[in-house]
Amino acid sequence: MDARNGWSRVGMLATLALAACGGDTGENAAAGGDDAATMPADTQVVVVADAGFETPESVLHDAAADVYLVSNINGQPLDRDGNGFISRVRPDGTVDELKWIEGGAGGVRLNAPKGMALKGDTLFVTDIDSVRAFHRETGRSLGARGVPDADFLNDLAVADDALYVTDTGVDASFSPTGNAAIYRFGVGGVETVARGDSLASPNGIAVEGGEMLVAPFGSGEVRRIDLAEGGAGQVVATLPGGQLDGIVRLADGAFLVSSWETSTVYRVAADGTAEAIVEDVPSPADIGWDAERRRVLIPVFMEDRVEIHPVR
């Protein structure tokens, strides 16, 4: 089957789903508020270990289903071994389904899944040089799209009318290939927003309000890039550690970012001031955020577990 046809269908589905969601925002927000009011204060750290995770790279809260999705590379980040999988974990830390989406099962191709993003009922997942799409509720494959010249697609973020994807631009030994880039998938196809060594191996990405924040693996400097201008943008925060991976924005303008170098998750205020909020967590990869419970969701890449920490 022609992957492009599959992708077109996905794009249409995603667009329709997004349009359908537009009017519900207020209701969802109100419902979230009600739930939050009756929920006990969340002070417990939950560690999900020995659950069967294999090189977990990313955790994403599907707020509609209220589950945490965990992408598992299962092997080396660039190996086309067909064995990647995505787990569903309940907020209490119990595993709902370890291999909810599994390479080789039900016609699914999945090698080394990394970043994830939801747009309506479509789950997008990066996989080396492709972005794959699945149905949020059923996990059914909805198609894929390859990115020409991509080396190491990593994180994803959605905006109103587009999907943004980082290519860390490194090889299997994490040496830069010169292909570091940020791509935009829109109605008109794939465009390059930014490219080059100045991006310092872009890893995590968060998009909101006409701009994106990018956490590079090759430095400790978080960059802000204007969506309309593109380019390498400006440094908005210099952290005590580098090898940055996941980044999530909070409602107050602050953001959280993880550093492999210092085994720490930082909270960075809008003025760029960084504070360590979770320490001694080795290889903290693409963190997620449960906004309702105010928890950061940390995949511990090298140790096959997920840690869930409350954030004040």
Give the residues lining the site for Ca ion (CB under 5 A): 74-75, 81, 83-84, 112, 154-155, 203, 245, 286
Give least dist CB 84 to Ca ion, A.
Answer: 5
Residue number, 111 or 121, with CB nearest to Ca ion: 111
For residue 174, the number of C-alpha atoms closer than 13 Å in the C-beta half-sphere is 9
Whole-angstrom distance, CA of residue 177 vs CA of residue 145: 22
Per the CB < 8 A criterion, the answer to whether 236 and 252 are in contact is no
Closest CB to Ca ion among 56 and 120?
Answer: 56
Q: How far is the CB of 92 from Ca ion (least distance, A)?
A: 26
Q: The tokens 């720490």 sit on which residue?
A: 264
Closest residue to Ca ion, based on beta-carbon distance: 75
Which residue lies nearer to Ca ion by CB, 167 or 245?
245
Name the residue nearer to Ca ion (CB basis): 83 or 264: 83
Rounded Cα distance between 242 and 263, Å, is: 10
Work out how close the CB of 187 gets to Ca ion at its nearest, in angstroms, rounded to a whole number: 26
CA separation, residue 255 to residues 57, 175, 214 (Å): 19, 28, 11
Rounded to the nearest whole angstrom, what is the least distance from the CB of residue 110 to Ca ion in the complex? Answer: 8
Closer of 112 and 147 to Ca ion (Cβ): 112
- Looking at beta carbons only, is 203 or 243 nearer to Ca ion? 203
Structure tokens at 23: 């009017």
Residues with Cβ within 8 Å of 229's Cβ and at least 6 positions away in sequence, in order, are none
**Residues 97-108, buried b or exposed e (16+ Cβ, 10 A)?**
ebbbbbbeeeeb
Residue 147 Cβ, how far from Ca ion at the closest point, in Å?
16
> Quick one: 15 or 104, whose CB is closer to Ca ion?
104
Give the DSSP letter string of 188-251.
TEEEEEEESGGG-SEEEEEEETTEEEEEETT-SEEEEEETTT-SS-EEEEE-SS--EEEEEE-T
> Which amino acid, residue 70?
V
